[in-house]
Structure 1
Amino acid sequence: MSGILAGLADGLAAFALALGLPFGAGGPPPLANGYVEGEYLRIAAPSAGTLESLSVVRGAQVAAGAPLFAIDRATANAERDRLAAVLAQARAQRADLATGKRPQEVAVLTAQKARAEAALRYSSAELARQQELVARKVTSPDKLDQARAAYDRDRGQLAEAEAQLAVAALPARPEQLRAADEAVSQAEAALVQAERRLADLAPAAPVAALVEDTLYNPGEWVPAGSPVVSLLPPERVKLVLFVPEPAMAAVAPGTVLSVRCDGCPPGLSARVTRIASQAEYTPPVIYSVGSREKLVFRVEAMPGRPLNPGLPVDVWPADVRPMDVGPVGRPQ
C-alpha cells in the first residue's frame, strides 16, 4: 500500500512539474532556470600533418605549459636548421665587413711598403749623385732627368703602399655595413618565424584546464587548423540563465545569486556578469507548459566553483537559502 501511495505522489509531482505548478509545501519558486555552459579552447596546429604524439587523455587535468600533442616536425626542423645556417652566414659576413683585411693580406701590403721605401731610398741617393755630377759637369743633364723621374716614381709607389695599408685596416663602407645589418635582421626574423612554426606544431596548454576531448589519434592525418584537443579552463565555465521579464528588476551586473543543482553541494552562488539587451522567448531547453510563452532575458553569471557543462540549474536571490527548495526545477 505504501508503495502505491509513493508512486501516486511521484506521479502527481511529475504532473505538477509538467504544468509548471508547485507541488506540496516548500520554499519560493526559483528566480530563473538555466544551465551550465563551457567556453572551450580548441587547440589546433596551423599546418597539416600526421599526428606524431598525443600527450593528454580525456578527462585529465593539465597544467599551464604542459605539452598537448605534436604534429610531425621533420620538415619544420629541417627548415629551422637551414634558416639558422643562413643567419650564421649573414652574421659572419657582417663581422668580416667590420674587421678590414685579414692579417696575411696586411702582411703582404706591409712588405710592399717596405720594398717601396727601399726603392725610394735608392732613387733619392741616385738623384743626389746625379745632381752633384751635373753640377761638376761630369755627366749629362739627361741622367739627372732620369734620376729625378725614378725618384718621383718611387715616392708615388711608397705613397700608394701606405694608402693601401691604411685602407686595409678600415671596415667596409657605411652603406655596405647597413646592408649587412639588414641581411642579419631578415635572417633573424625568418628564424624566429620558423621556430614559432615549429612550436605551433607541438602546442602547450595556454592555461590550466580540463581535457574535455581529444579528436585525433596518433598516426592520423590532421588537416591544417583542425582542433586536436579541446580544453575547458575553470574560469570559462558560466551559468546561462533565462530570467522572466517581471523579475529583471532584481538582477543587475554584479548581483549575487544563490544556485541550486542536482547533486551539487549546498551554499553555491554566482555573480551576474552579463545581461542581454533584448528579450527572447524561453528557449526549448527549458520549455514547460507554464513557461513556454514567457519572454525572458538571457543572463550570464560566473559560479563560485566550476560545474559540469550541461547541468541544469535554478537560481534564487542571494537571501534565499537553496536548502529551502527541492530538486532543480521542482519546489519541495
Structure 2
Amino acid sequence: MKVAKTRLRDAVPGQWPGPALAGALCMALIANGCSSRPTNTYQGYVEGEFVYMASSQAGQLVDLAVQRGQTVAVDTLLFALEAQNETDAVRQATRQLQAAQAQHADLLTGRRRPEVEVTQAQIEQARADAHRLDLQLQRDEAQYRVGGVPKGQLDDSRGAAASAQGKVRELEAQLQVARLPGRAEQIRAQQAQVEAARAALAQAQWKLDQKRVRAPHAGLVFDTMYRSGEWVPAGNPVVRMLPPENIKVRFFVQETVVGALRPGRKVVIRCDGCAAPVPAAISFVSDQAEYTPPVIFSNETRAKLVFMVEARSSREDAVKLRPGQPVEVAVQ
C-alpha cells in the first residue's frame, strides 16, 4: 500500500494514473485483502425479545433478589411482595376446609359411640320394665280367672305391658338409626361444601404464590424497574429478562435472493466484538417487502425494497450477542 500511495503522489496533478499504475494499485489492494464484500453477506442487527416479569397482585416490594446484569437459572426467585393479607387468607381457608371435612366425616360415621351406648342402656332398661310388666300381667290374668282382681285392673296391666313392649321396639329402632350414616342428600350437600372450601383454599394459595415471582427460564436479568420498599401496582413489570433463546438476528436481503431462503438454512454471524463467527439458522423469512431501514447501510446495492429475515443460534452461542449490536450475516 505504501508503494501505491507513493506512485499516486508522484503522478501528475489533475491527471488519472496510467494503466500500469492502476494495475499495480489493484494488485496491492488484492494482496492486502481489500476486496469487495461477498455477495452472500448481508448487514443486520441483534434483537432481543424481552420477558417482563410482573405479579398479578399489588404490593410493596420487600425483596428484590436479583440485580441488573445477573445471569439466573430457571426457578430462581426474582422478587417478592409483602404478603401478610394473603398468608392470613390461606390460613383461614385451611381451617374452613378442615371444618367442612370433619362435618362430612361425621355424616358418614353416624352418631358417636357414647351416644350409641346411651341408647343401648335405655333399651336394656325398657326390656327390664317390659319383662316386669309382663309378669304382672300374667299374675293379674290368673287372679282375674278366680275372681281375685277386677276387670279394670287386668286391662291396666295389659296396657302397661303393651306400652313397655312398644318402648323397647322404639329404642331398638333409634339404635339402628344411630348406627346409620347421614342421609344421601345431606352427604352430597356436605361434600359440595368440602369442594367449595378446597377451591377457596386453592384460590387463596394462588394469590399468595403470586407474591413471589420466579424465573420461568434461565437467562440474563437485563433490567430492574423498582427498588426495594416501593409500591408495585398489579401487572407492572419489576424485572426484565432476556433468555438466550429469545436472542435473534435480523438482516435484510434483496428480492432476487429471498426466494432461495428457507427456515433452517445455515448462516454465519460476524460482529466486531465476536471472538469467532457465530453459527445460526434461519428461523423466519418475511413475505412482505419493506423499505431499507435507515440503520442498514450498503454501498454496493441500490435496491429500494428488501425482505426481513430472522436467524437464531443455539443457547450457548446466543449469549455472545447483544441486542442492538450490528452484525454481518453470511448465508451458507
Normalising by structure 1, what TM-score? 0.85
In the alignment, is residue 310 of structure 1 matched against residue 320 of structure 2? no
In the alignment, is residue 74 of structure 1 matched against residue 88 of structure 2? no
2:157 alignment counterpart:
147
Structure-2 separation of matches of 1:192 and 1:284 = 53
TM-superposition CA deviations, 1:87-106 (whole Å, max 9, x none): 11111111121221122222
Contact 1:36–1:237 (CA under 8 A) maintained in structure 2: yes
Which of the residues 153, 172, 177 maps onto 1:162? Answer: 172
Contact 1:38–1:236 (CA under 8 A) maintained in structure 2: yes
2:237 alignment counterpart:
227
Structure-1 separation of matches of 2:91 and 2:168 = 49
Q: C-alpha root-mean-square deviation of aligned residues, in Å?
A: 1.9
TM superposition shift of 1:116: 0.7
State the AA in 2 paired with 1:239.
V
TM superposition shift of 1:73: 0.5
2:112 alignment counterpart:
102
Contact 1:32–1:244 (CA under 8 A) maintained in structure 2: no
Which of the residues 223, 227, 242 maps onto 1:217? Answer: 227
In the alignment, is residue 244 of structure 1 matched against residue 244 of structure 2? no
TM superposition shift of 1:292: 7.8
Alignment of 1:36-51 (within 5 A): 36-51=46-61
Number of residue-to-residue matches in the alignment: 298
1:268 alignment counterpart:
278
Structure 2, unaligned stretches of length 5 or more? 6-32
Structure-2 separation of matches of 1:26 and 1:295 = 22
2:287 alignment partner, SS class: coil
Moved more, 136-145 or 26-35: 26-35
Structure-2 separation of matches of 1:287 and 1:249 = 22
Which of the residues 139, 142, 164 maps onto 1:132? Answer: 142
1:321 alignment counterpart:
none
State the AA in 1 paired with 2:323.
P
Moved more, 127-136 or 78-87: 127-136
TM superposition shift of 1:288: 5.3
TM superposition shift of 1:237: 0.9
Q: Which has the larger radius of gyration?
A: 2
Identical counterparts, % of pairs:
42
TM-superposition CA deviations, 1:64-123 (whole Å, max 9, x none): 111110011111111111111111111111112122112222222122111111111011
Contact 1:282–1:292 (CA under 8 A) maintained in structure 2: no
Structure-2 separation of matches of 1:82 and 1:292 = 71
TM-superposition CA deviations, 1:4-59 (whole Å, max 9, x none): x8xxxxxxxxxxxxxxxxx9325514532211111111110111111011000111
Contact 1:282–1:291 (CA under 8 A) maintained in structure 2: no
1:16 alignment counterpart:
none
